[in-house]
Amino acid sequence: MAEQTFRLPDLGEGLTEAQLVTWRVEEGGQVEVNEPLCDVETAKAVVVIPSPWAGTIQKLHARPGESVAVGSALVTIAAQGAPAPVEPLPAESVEATPSTLVGYGPGAGPPAGIRRRARVAPSTPQMGSDVRAAPFVRQLAKERGVDLAALTGSGPGGRITRADVEGAASPVAATSAAAAASTTDGERRISVVGIRKAIARQMVRSVTTIPQFTEFAVFDATKLLAARERQKQSGRSMTPLPYFILALVKAVRAFPLMNSSWDEAHDEIVVKQPINVGIAVNTSQGLLVPVLRGAERLDLMAIADQAARLIEGARAGTLKPVEMSGGTITITNVGASGPVETGTPIISPTECCVGAFGAIKPRPMVIDGKVVARSGAWISISVDHRIVDGALATEFLTALVGELETSRA
């Protein structure tokens, strides 16, 4: 045996660090090739890191909750044989077929005769096979004193999510956790790592590097709601979001400059061909933006299906990093969680435009010279002024309102 130190790899998204969520192994224990070592939370998702070697765990170099830089020592193993090429796995699927771990090159999976098996460390609660929850959710349940077997999961396929655990946490556990995080003078400090740190950096980058302005409009949602009702009567119920996305895509087709980015290195505008719509989702981890790729090729039903899958995956913490990158324009429904009229959304860096939709509700409108109550909502767009001037933004917003007001099932 030879001691080998495994270092945190670049997980494929150019990330510089990740937060260690939980260990799946313990010092002195045995590990097999491709067996899960730990869960880490990146700026994009929770990822399972598998072992490149079989052997004995000599030393764990980080504690759960700590931030680990890419290239830093993660674990030392008294290893048998050479490294096996494997890849980081999404937290919900530790039995997927391995291919490549960044830094080890392409390969064909584990050597013959070695069978992968999911092994849970003693620190992770043992649950029945009928309980579906990612490892970091199980760890959270243990810390909060929540019995996962007693919960009904709200995630895809009945998967138990972080939000489910936090909602079921006992007042005693919550109080104890809050007290532990409080200082003697009454302050409470929260470690900013992983997704929250990435959000902070992106927002600072946006407002300090992109000269952006916002325009507002109100649209009549009468036909949109009528189309929703027809879909409901035909057996398909959906939120307004798919209609928003479809209208956005149609407006972008008419004004492709809205689907572009500013290349700072070359002072060029890069107009993107695919329309990859980022969908801002409020989760227990913070604001996540899964990306609906190739939206220009999808009809309303396909948009609804894919958007629902992405939103559920974001809230369950089961999306892969690649599913939350590559957006070309973003949409956020600020009225989905309450009676919010509108807002001034912040552009995601590398994009030109973000649209925000407020709550649809009855409001006074002038129709044929008469004031009547019609269902409507505010919509706002923030745009990169380096790429788009006010006149073009107004034309785009007008086209977007027109698409929304002529929505059909």
Q: What is the pLDDT along the chain (409 residues), one digit of tens a residue?
A: 688 999 998 776 567 788 888 899 999 999 998 889 998 887 667 788 889 999 999 999 999 888 888 899 999 999 876 555 444 544 443 333 333 233 233 333 333 333 333 333 333 334 444 577 765 677 677 777 888 888 877 665 676 876 677 777 744 444 444 444 455 577 877 766 666 777 788 889 999 999 999 999 999 999 999 999 999 999 888 999 999 999 999 999 999 999 999 999 999 999 999 999 999 998 877 788 999 999 999 999 999 999 999 999 988 888 887 898 899 999 999 887 777 888 899 999 999 999 999 999 999 999 999 999 999 999 999 999 999 999 999 999 999 999 999 988 6
Please compute Rg for the chain using Cα positions: 24
List the beta strands (DSSP E) in 198-279.
212-220, 260-263, 268-271, 277-279
- The bridge status of strand 67-69 relative to strand 329-333 is unpaired
The DSSP result for 176-209, as a single string, is HHHHHHB-TTS-B-----HHHHHHHHHHHHHHHH
CATH number at residue 335: 3.30.559.10
**SS3 track for 61-103:** CCCCCCEEECCCEEEEEEEECCCCCCCCEECCCCCCCCCCCCC
> Is the Cα torsion angle 385, 388, 392, 395 positive or negative in sign?
negative
- Note whether 356 and 225 are same-domain residues: yes
Element (H, E) at 46: strand 46-50
The pLDDT value given to residue 338: 73
The pLDDT value given to residue 184: 57
> Is the Cα torsion angle 404, 405, 406, 409 positive or negative in sign?
positive
- Note whether 342 and 289 are same-domain residues: yes
124 is a domain residue: no
344 is a domain residue: yes
Rounded Cα gap, residues 275 and 246, in angstroms? 11
- Note whether 161 and 280 are same-domain residues: no
CATH number at residue 151: 4.10.320.10
Q: Are 20 and 72 in contact (CB under 8 A)?
A: no
**Residue 17 β-bridge partners:** 69
The 8-class DSSP code of residue 335 comes to: T
Q: How many structural domains comprise the chain? A: 3
The residue to which tokens 């004995």 are assigned: 56
Indicate the SS3 state at residue 7.
Answer: strand
- Note whether 219 and 356 are same-domain residues: yes
Identify the domain containing residue 149 by its residue range.
Answer: 135-181
- Note whether 239 and 160 are same-domain residues: no
The pLDDT value given to residue 103: 29
- Note whether 302 and 386 are same-domain residues: yes
pTM of model > 0.85: no
149 is a domain residue: yes
- Cβ contacts of 319 within 8 Å, gap of 6 or more: 44, 45, 90, 288, 290, 310, 313
List the beta strands (DSSP E) in 238-301.
260-263, 268-271, 277-279, 281-283, 286-288, 291-292
Rounded Cα gap, residues 388 and 395, in angstroms? 11
The DSSP result for 301-332, as a single string, is HHHHHHHHHHHHHHHHT---GGGGS--SEEEE
196 is a domain residue: no
- Note whether 148 and 267 are same-domain residues: no
- Determine whether 266 is an active site residue: no
- Among 90, 107, 125, the domain-final residue is 90
Rounded Cα gap, residues 388 and 348, in angstroms? 15
- Of the residues 119, 374, 385, 386, only one is catalytic, namely 385
CATH number at residue 23: 2.40.50.100
Q: Which two tokens stand for residue 98?
A: 């391995």
233 is a domain residue: yes
The pLDDT value given to residue 359: 92
Indicate the SS3 state at residue 388.
Answer: coil
The 8-class DSSP code of residue 406 comes to: T
Q: Are 348 and 330 in contact (CB under 8 A)?
A: yes
- Note whether 270 and 320 are same-domain residues: yes
> Is the Cα torsion angle 384, 386, 390, 391 positive or negative in sign?
negative
The count of C-alpha atoms lying within 13 angstroms of the C-alpha of 388, restricted to the half-sphere facing its C-beta, is: 30
Q: Are 87 and 101 in contact (CB under 8 A)?
A: yes
- Please choose, from the candidates 295, 254, 256, the residue with its C-alpha nearest in 3D space to the C-alpha of residue 403: 254
- Note whether 76 and 139 are same-domain residues: no
